[in-house]
């Protein structure tokens, strides 16, 4: 018997103005945060663990380039 688990993250649409969808396979997301290029935290999703698809509202952010950090609580930040 061979069991294969696929870990993946999809983020779409990119670019966006109002929201994006963060989709994950087998990984449990325990924390997600969005920082600007200066490293200032702009959005944080803490204590809301999930697997699957999540809609993230970014309509309050100014237009620009941001860094999304996600963590499963075990393997660190991606």
Tens-digit pLDDT profile for residues 20-72 = 998 877 667 778 889 999 999 999 886 566 677 888 899 999 999 999 888 77
pLDDT of residue 70: 83
pLDDT of residue 24: 79
Q: Is the pLDDT of residue 5 over 80?
A: no
Q: Is the pLDDT of residue 75 over 70?
A: no
Q: Name the strands in the sheet holding 9-12, side by side, starting at the edge strand that comes first in the sequence.
A: 9-12, 19-24, 53-57
In whole angstroms, give the CA distance from residue 32 to residue 55: 12
Q: Which two tokens stand for residue 63?
A: 């237009």
* For the chain, domain boundaries: 9-59
Better pLDDT: 52 or 6 = 52
């Amino acid at each position: 018997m061979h069991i294969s688990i696929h870990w993946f993250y999809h983020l779409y649409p990119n670019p966006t103005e109002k929201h994006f969808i963060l989709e994950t396979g087998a990984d449990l997301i325990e924390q997600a945060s969005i920082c600007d290029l200066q490293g200032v935290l702009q959005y944080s999703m803490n204590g809301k663990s999930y697997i699957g698809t999540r809609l993230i509202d970014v309509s309050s952010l100014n237009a620009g380039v941001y860094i999304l950090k996600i963590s499963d609580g075990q393997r660190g930040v991606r």
